[in-house]
Each structure stands twice: as structure tokens, then as C-alpha cells.
């Protein structure tokens, strides 16, 4: 596959027009004020972008992973904060319910999540369980009459302040580590479900991230997702796929940084000529372009694998895509800032925001180190 099929190009065009006309113009202001892009997210819902691979029978757009990554790159080109809100709803909230939910769970939750009537979040990380997700301490206690009580703290939960549905993880036997982890579908209006303090972030400042606190939150038996002790498997499978969304986010940031760098290299005059006439600048542009094209091909290929039958290969391909694209985003944002000189250090210039936004991509949904572990395991066993 060297080019996109026509139907995917149409989705790309739709996403590009919307992103550049309706998301990009307010991105800097939202970044400065840390305001959640509620209006933009509502429009994404109308476009079917919040449940892109949810089948139509559950209210989704029924599209492929390739369509999803192509659209998400365009949204993140304009604003990575809008992009992560979309990515979490698609990859981390809809997907596990679609893949592991009962028919009743799919019918109850997916139509609202896929159409944006409700927003979803994914509550895995805890103060002492990040990369080591098996160290979950949030306790799941079976209740005598059936159902569960959940007590514990989650941190860094994207969308949490606005989400009505959470795919939440808790451990029925913390001493057994990952073997005791269970996944649940929780609703924000339940007693004991509390949104904690918002995180004060370096980048993607207009995405909403906060703590989630569960205090003896009762979860009905029918809201256990995928069976007892299946939580770790569900969490890992979800992140395997979610990573490709972060690859797409990183590509959007990288491409925007590149485009701004090229424009500046052509227009900024120093020593009587555009700075782009210097070989030092040309090499930076060449390296950026090469890394973006490589990471994009890898991301598209991983997306095709994700929809195919070879799930083991899809898993490490998604990790490769995330590793390559996130490191590319940081490389490109850094070089774009360098090409802008002192202006790049000013909050009046977009590259300053891209430099901060790029930083998250090597951290969440598995750090670069964790991606390397996943990739190496595929070869070394």
C-alpha cells in the first residue's frame, strides 16, 4: 500500500477542512486559557468522528482503523488537545466495550459514546501503577448480593472532568498483581464516583485531565467487562490499539511543525537571503520530511494490520508506529523551533505550543521505553 484508497482520501479531506477552518483558529487561545474544546468536540460528534470504528448498528461510523488514523492526524495538525479527546473516546472507551462487552453492554453504552451524547474515559493509571499497570491498588470487593465495590485513586485520566462513562480498572487481589485485575464500566453519576483535581500540564493544555476517585462505588454485576480477572488482558489489548491513535496525533504535530518551519525558512531573511538558502537549514528540513514520511507509512501499515487477522504482528506494529511517530514529533517540533530562532521561544508563535504538545507523545499510552520492550519481545520472545 503506497497511497490511500479513494474513500479514505475523502475522509481525510473532510477532516482536513474541518480542522483547518474550525479547530486551528482558536487553538492558541484555548491553549493559553486551558479551556476545553467543547464546541469542537460536539462538531466532531456530528461528523461521526467520536465512534469511527464502532459499527453502524451501535451508532458508530463503521470505518476502518486506517480511516481513523488519517482523520486523527488531520485533527491533531490543528490542535493535539482536540485530537486526544477524540482518540480517548474512540480507542480507549468505545473499543474495549466493542471488543469485550456483552451484547447488552454494547447496546447500552456504545450508541451514546459513538454519537457524542456521552464522553468516555479510561481509568487505568494510579500513583504507583503507570508503566507497571499490574500494580493496581484500586480494590474491587465483591458485594454479598452481587456486584462490586470499588475504592481507590486514579490519576492522569484524560476526559475525566467531562466524561459520563469510564472504563475503569480495579484489583480483586492486589497481592496477585495483574492476575487479579478486573475491568468495569462505570457511570459518573454513581455515588462514590468523584472527579479529583485537574492536572496542571506542560502541553495539550486544553484537553481535560484529572484524578478520579472511587469511594465505595457500587458497580452492578452486569457492568463487569469481559469477566473476572480479565482486566489486565483488556487493558493491554486496548493500549495496543490505542497507541496507533497517539502515533496519528504525533504525526499531526510533526506535520504542522514541518509546514511552519518550511514557511519560516522561506520568508525569514538573514544576511540578505532567506535562511532556507543555508545548507544547515536545508538539512533540518530534509531530516524532518524523511522522518515524517517514514513514520506515516509505518502508522498506515500498522492500521491495516490492526484490522487484519495477525493480531500479534499488529500489536508490535502499533508500538513501532507510536515509537517512530512520537520521536519524530519531538524531533520536528525541536527543529521547527530552532528554525524560528528566538521567535520560536515566544508564546505568540505556534511552534512554541507544538514543542510543548509533542512532549506528551513519548509518555502516554506506553512510554518509548515500554514500546521498545513490546517490539523487542516480538523478536526475542
Binding footprint of ligand FAD on the chain (CB under 6 A): 88, 121-125, 130-132, 156-158, 201, 209, 360, 363-365, 367, 369-370
Active site residue 6: no
**Could you tell me the smallest distance in angstroms from the CB atom of residue 377 to ligand FAD?**
12
**Could you tell me the smallest distance in angstroms from the CB atom of residue 212 to ligand FAD?**
9
Q: Which is nearer to ligand FAD, 154 or 291 (CB)?
A: 154
Q: Work out the number of other CB atoms within 10 angstroms of the CB of residue 164.
A: 17
Q: Which is nearer to ligand FAD, 247 or 281 (CB)?
A: 247
**Could you tell me the smallest distance in angstroms from the CB atom of residue 364 to ligand FAD?**
4
Contact 170, 139 (CB under 8 A): yes
Q: Which is nearer to ligand FAD, 8 or 204 (CB)?
A: 204
Please, what's the largest Cα pairwise distance for the chain?
A: 80
The dihedrals phi and psi of 49, each to the nearest 5 degrees, come to: -90, 0
Q: Which is nearer to ligand FAD, 20 or 32 (CB)?
A: 32
Contact residues for 104 (Cβ-Cβ < 8 A; gap 6+): 222
**Could you tell me the smallest distance in angstroms from the CB atom of residue 266 to ligand FAD?**
34
Residue in the shown chain whose Cβ atom is closest to ligand FAD: 130
Q: Which is nearer to ligand FAD, 122 or 162 (CB)?
A: 122
Contact 198, 161 (CB under 8 A): yes
Q: Which is nearer to ligand FAD, 11 or 182 (CB)?
A: 182
First-residue to last-residue Cα distance in the chain: 29
Contact residues for 15 (Cβ-Cβ < 8 A; gap 6+): 49, 70, 71, 72, 74, 75
Contact 182, 231 (CB under 8 A): yes
Helix residue spans in the chain (DSSP H)? 6-18, 24-33, 38-46, 65-78, 80-87, 95-100, 103-114, 231-267, 279-306, 311-340, 350-359, 368-380
Closest CA to 44 of 66, 74, 64: 74
**Could you tell me the smallest distance in angstroms from the CB atom of residue 365 to ligand FAD?**
6
**Could you tell me the smallest distance in angstroms from the CB atom of residue 277 to ligand FAD?**
39
Q: Which of 73, 211, 352, 365 is catalytic?
A: 365
Contact 225, 105 (CB under 8 A): yes
> Which residues are identified as catalytic?
365
Amino acid at each position: 500500500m503506497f497511497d490511500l484508497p479513494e474513500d479514505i482520501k475523502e475522509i481525510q479531506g473532510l477532516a482536513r477542512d474541518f480542522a483547518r477552518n474550525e479547530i486551528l483558529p482558536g487553538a492558541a487561545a484555548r491553549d493559553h486559557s486551558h479551556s476545553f474544546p467543547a464546541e469542537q468536540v460536539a462538531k466532531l460528534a456530528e461528523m461521526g468522528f467520536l465512534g469511527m470504528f464502532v459499527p453502524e448498528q451501535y451508532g458508530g461510523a463503521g470505518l476502518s482503523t486506517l480511516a481513523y488514523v488519517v482523520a486523527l492526524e488531520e485533527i491533531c495538525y490543528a490542535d493535539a488537545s482536540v485530537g486526544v479527546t477524540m482518540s480517548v473516546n474512540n480507542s480507549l472507551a468505545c473499543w474495549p466495550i466493542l471488543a469485550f462487552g456483552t451484547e447488552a453492554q454494547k447496546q447500552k453504552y456504545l450508541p451514546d459514546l459513538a454519537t457524542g451524547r456521552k464522553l468516555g474515559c479510561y481509568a487505568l493509571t494510579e500513583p504507583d501503577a503507570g508503566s507497571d499497570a499490574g500494580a493496581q491498588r484500586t480494590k474491587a470487593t465483591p458485594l454479598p448480593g452481587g456486584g462490586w465495590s470499588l475504592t481507590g485513586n486514579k490519576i492522569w485520566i484524560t476526559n475525566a472532568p467531562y466524561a459520563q462513562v469510564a472504563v475503569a480498572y480495579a484489583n480483586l487481589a492486589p497481592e496477585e498483581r495483574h492476575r487479579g485485575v478486573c475491568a468495569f464500566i462505570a457511570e459518573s453519576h454513581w455515588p462514590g464516583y468523584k472527579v479529583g483535581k485537574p492536572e496542571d500540564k506542560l502541553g495539550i493544555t486544553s484537553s481535560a485531565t484529572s484524578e478520579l476517585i472511587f469511594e465505595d462505588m457500587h458497580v452492578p454485576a452486569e457492568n463487569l467487562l469481559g469477566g473476572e480477572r480479565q482486566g489486565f488482558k483488556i487493558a493491554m489489548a486496548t493500549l495496543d490499539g490505542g497507541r496507533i491513535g497517539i502515533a496519528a496525533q504525533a504525526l499531526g504535530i510533526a506535520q504542522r511543525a514541518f509546514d511552519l518551519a518550511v514557511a519560516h525558512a522561506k520568508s525569514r531573511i538573514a544576511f540578505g537571503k532567506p535562511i532556507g538558502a543555508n545548507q544547515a537549514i536545508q538539512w533540518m528540513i530534509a531530516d524532518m520530511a524523511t522522518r515524517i514520511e517514514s513514520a506515516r507509512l509505518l502508522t498506515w501499515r500498522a492500521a491495516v494490520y490492526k484490522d487484519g487477522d495477525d493480531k500479534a504482528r499488529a500489536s508490535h506494529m502499533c508500538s513501532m508506529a507510536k515509537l517512530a511517530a512520537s520521536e519524530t514529533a519531538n524531533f520536528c517540533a525541536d527543529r521547527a523551533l530552532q528554525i524560528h530562532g528566538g521567535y520560536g521561544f515566544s508564546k505568540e508563535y505556534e511552534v512554541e505550543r507544538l514543542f510543548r504538545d509533542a512532549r506528551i507523545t513519548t509518555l502516554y499510552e506506553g512510554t518509548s521505553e515500554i514500546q521498545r520492550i513490546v517490539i523487542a519481545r516480538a523478536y526475542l520472545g
